[in-house]
Structure 1
Amino acid sequence: MKSIAISGSPRENVGKRDAKELRYQGQVPAVLYGGATQTHFSVSAADLKPVVYTPVVQFIDLDVAGVASQAIIKDMQFHPLTDEILHVDFLLLDESKPVTIEIPILLTGTSPGVKMGGKLTQKLRKLRIKALPKDHLDTIEVSIEGLEVGSSVRVRDIKLPNLTITNTPEDTILSITTSRALRQAEQEAASGKK
């Protein structure tokens, strides 16, 4: 999985007034947890944008006052009106402990059902995957080759080595349904109209 480097500055004071001052300076208050102690620090809002505003999941190589650690974003808080990032929670990764991350689904191939006029409906865009950090993937590829009208792909149909999918096995990832135009053409053909 890809990783991006972000550096932070330790915070001595934690509280509303200090957090507001940091945001005014273009910094975002953050916390790193998952280790023996929590680390409060701030990061540049500009450094967070490539990580936050992308569908790609990335590991983060944090450097806070010379202490390096690998983490993921576990939670973020946004301003309700401006969508400004207010606070970020990072989870420290341990190579020996599994972590659950939502990984985006990438559809590959061409479906004969879609070529015949069927409609492809993707209901899930991401899957929750539990695995060791070294085993995580950037994307989960789902092939739609050979899917006809009326076919669907469910979570249980996806097999990934060394990874556990935590979504409900009955959840539908995608389906190919009859489009309105194709349904109308079939009805006209059945009634003999042209």
Structure 2
Amino acid sequence: MKVVAFERNLQGTGASRRLRNSGKTPGIVYGAADQPQLIELDHNALWHALKKEAFHSSILDLEVAGKSQQVLLRDVQYHPFRQLVLHVDFQRVDAKKKLHTKVPVHFMNQETNPAVKLGGAVISHVVTEVEVECLPGDLPEFVELDLSKIEAGQSLHAKDITLPKGVSLAARVEAENPVVAAAAVPAAAVSSEAAEGEAGETPAA
């Protein structure tokens, strides 16, 4: 995904305010042993890009002054109540060095799960993104978790996620192995089944 930005020479609260008033968003690019670079981006184009899941988890080609560099989106600051992006941070990536970043989890086959279709179970998505480690060229836009066989009362953890070749869970996530999805039968459904069972019992003579 390509992002076009422009060099920014002025900094400070007043300069940033004037920049935003002109439809631009201030930002910064840092990392990879190079000096931080102040940039500005077209606000509307950035706003629409931020709505795309891949923009948050993919390697981006950032073009500044005709030169392209590979970056990851690292931080976005939003206005508390206006539809306004106040500032963005991008981090340069080195193609030869592994990076740590979060990618979205896509939940697959929930609709065909027997516990959901027949047993009234409800699957909750406890975690919607997971931190992984890989080379920039191996970074996936998302990872998948298969929910087709989870049963009521069961949970699936980070280690149950299908990871592409060259991608591993970050060491902390590997050690903690947090719950990513859990299946439960709502209390109302359980009490309803219990009531039906009692109604079906015949009193002893």
- Number of equivalent positions: 191
How far apart are residue 5 of structure 1 and its match? 1.4
1-structure distance, mates of 2:122, 2:85: 37
Is residue 2:41 matched to residue 1:43? yes
The Cα shift of 1:17 comes to: 1.7
State the identity as a percent. Answer: 23
CA RMSD of aligned residues (A): 1.8
Q: What is the aligned counterpart of 1:180 among 187, 202, 205?
A: 187
State yes or no: 1:131 paired with 2:134. Answer: yes
Dislocated runs of 4+, deviation >4 Å: none
1:26 aligns to what? 23
Structure-2 separation of matches of 1:170 and 1:190 = 38
CA contact (8 A) 1:151 1:176 kept: yes
TM-score, normalised via structure 2 length: 0.85
Please give the per-residue CA displacement for 1:24-47, whole angstroms capped at 9, x wherever unaligned.
110111111013211111110122
Which of residues 121, 125, 131 is equivalent to 1:122? Answer: 125
Please tell me the residue identity of whatever aligns with 1:22.
L
Is the partner of 1:137 in helix, strand or coil? coil
Structure with more of its chain in helix, by fraction: 2
- Aligned to 2:153, which of 144, 150, 158? 150
Structure 2: which 5+ runs fail to align?
Answer: none
Out of 8-17 and 51-60, give the one that drifted further: 51-60
Question: What is the match of residue 67 of structure 1?
Answer: 67
Bigger Cα displacement from structure 2, 159-168 vs 134-143: 159-168
Q: Check the 8 A contact 1:156/1:169 in 2, yes or no.
A: no
- Asked if residue 163 in structure 1 is aligned to residue 167 in structure 2, the reply is yes
CA contact 1:128–1:165 (8 Å) conserved in 2: yes
The 10-residue stretch of structure 1 (162-171 or 42-51) with the greater mean CA deviation from structure 2:
162-171
- Kindly indicate whether residue 97 of structure 2 is the aligned counterpart of residue 100 of structure 1: no
**Equivalent position amino acid for 2:161 in 1:** I
Q: How far has the Cα of 1:97 moved from its partner?
A: 1.2
Distance in 2, Cα, partners of 1:80 & 1:107: 30
**AA of the residue aligned to 1:162:** G
Bigger radius of gyration among the two? 2
Opposite residue 179 of structure 1, the aligned amino acid is P
Instruction: Supply the distance in 2 between the matched residues of 1:145 and 1:80 (Cα, whole angstroms).
Output: 39
Give 5+ residue unaligned stretches, structure 1. Answer: none
